[in-house]
Structure 1
Amino acid sequence: MKKRITLGLIAIMTAFVGHVAIANNQPLTLDWIDLVPEHERAQFDRRGMPDIRHDAENPQSLVGSVRPELNNSQVKIPGFVIPLEGDDKVVTEFLLVPFLGACIHVPPPPPNQIIYVKFADGAPIQALWDVVYVEGTLNTEHVIHDLAEVGYVLEGTALSDYDDG
């Protein structure tokens, strides 16, 4: 009974914070663990990553699901860019991941820890090695890409340096 009350309070507080952000025309600022449903977070570390070995034999972990209540939310989330479409000045599609080298040098994170970002007009990318904030409309959508399976798609509206927060 106590656990149900606690989970209920967490759900109410999460909804309240989301409504306050919407009321203020501010996007909901997320951390990567926020993309993992509450009842699944015990299997993830504080960064939102399951316990994995980093070797070539270790494929993408498909552990975890998405949070459907985040569908169609205005959000802001920090991450690293893996360009997919664009040129040397702008990128129109990219994967946003929680740590440098994800999907390239180590096995990809689980699908609920990768966001497929689309910028219709292109987003300028000056330093791909730096953390950036991405803002836009987040949707729960399963995408299979050559690099990884993805659980979220974001229609990007703004990209800024992480320092600018």
Structure 2
Amino acid sequence: MNCFKSIIALAAALSLSVAGASAATMHIFWKDLRPATQALAEDAGLPMIAAKLPDHGETLSLGLQDKIIQLAGYALPVDRDGDLVYQFLLVPWTGACSHMPTPPPNQIVLVTPAHPYKMSEAYQPVAVTGALKPDMEKSQLFILDGVNVIQSGYTVRKAEVVGVDTVSDTITLPVNSPWTFLNKKKN
């Protein structure tokens, strides 16, 4: 009988720790995914480009491994059927990867939603919640002028995805950029 009570107490403790884990979602920003020594995109006047970085942006934040995070960014579909998206790249600014140079891998997250996400347009602002895995992966992105292979530094699988109005730490493209039409209006 005491053994049975111990098992029930252990099961209750485990269920509390699982419930506590879901309450421990870390709201992170794009800067949290790169080394503190890496220059900010705003400091260069342009978004970060992997080729210009000493490590090509391949240094990842291993301290976030398996943490439940929430990160807002812009969704660029990788695998879709009509308006249902089964996998997408989460990027820190509009135009990244298809209209502009690719961000470094430590600024790209490959996201697989828990359920197909209905998306009306590329670069839709979303917030992603799930377990972050530092993991270099390559994805084929089909764009107007052909196929582009994009390397992401992180993955979030079985992610919860919700649309958001704005991305708080987005990068606004410089006024002299030919891609300024991609800037999302901030409220």
The equivalent residue for 1:160 is 162
The equivalent residue for 1:96 is 90
Aligned to 1:76, which of 70, 78, 88?
Answer: 70
Distance (whole Å) between structure 1 residues aligned to residue 117 and residue 159 of structure 2:
9
TM-score normalised by length of structure 1: 0.70
Distance (whole Å) between structure 1 residues aligned to residue 84 and residue 96 of structure 2:
21
Aligned to 1:45, which of 36, 41, 47?
Answer: 41
Q: Read off the aligned partner of 2:27 and give its amino acid letter.
A: T
- Give the gaps of 5 or more residues in structure 1: 1-21, 53-57
Deviations 1:82-107 (A, max 9, x none): 10112123211110000001000011
Q: Does 1:35 align with 2:29?
A: no
- Give the gaps of 5 or more residues in structure 2: 1-19, 141-148, 168-187
The alignment partner of 1:99 has SS state of: coil
User: Structure 2 matches for 1:21-32, cutoff 5 A?
Assistant: 25-32=23-30
Q: Read off the aligned partner of 1:88 and give its amino acid letter.
A: G
Distance (whole Å) between structure 2 residues aligned to residue 76 and residue 36 of structure 1:
16
Q: Tell me how far 1:117 sits from its aligned partner.
A: 0.5
RMSD: 2.9
The alignment partner of 2:106 has SS state of: helix
Could you say if the C-alpha distance between residues 32 and 164 of structure 1 is closer, same or farther in structure 2, counting changes exceeding 3 Å? Answer: closer
The alignment partner of 1:78 has SS state of: strand
Q: Tell me how far 1:164 sits from its aligned partner.
A: 8.8
Aligned length: 137
Distance (whole Å) between structure 2 residues aligned to residue 84 and residue 23 of structure 1:
30
Q: Tell me how far 1:127 sits from its aligned partner.
A: 4.3
Deviations 1:16-66 (A, max 9, x none): xxxxxx66714211110110122x23x2235997655xxxxx968623510
CA contact (8 A) 2:41 2:47 kept: yes
Q: Read off the aligned partner of 1:67 and give its amino acid letter.
A: S
Distance (whole Å) between structure 1 residues aligned to residue 61 and residue 85 of structure 2:
27
The equivalent residue for 2:174 is none
Identity %: 27
Q: Read off the aligned partner of 1:25 and give its amino acid letter.
A: A
Distance (whole Å) between structure 2 residues aligned to residue 78 and residue 119 of structure 1:
14
Distance (whole Å) between structure 2 residues aligned to residue 29 and residue 160 of structure 1:
14
Distance (whole Å) between structure 1 residues aligned to residue 135 and residue 104 of structure 2:
14
Q: Does 1:119 align with 2:121?
A: no
Larger radius of gyration: 2
Could you say if the C-alpha distance between residues 130 and 23 of structure 1 is closer, same or farther in structure 2, counting changes exceeding 3 Å? Answer: same
Aligned to 2:104, which of 110, 118, 129?
Answer: 110
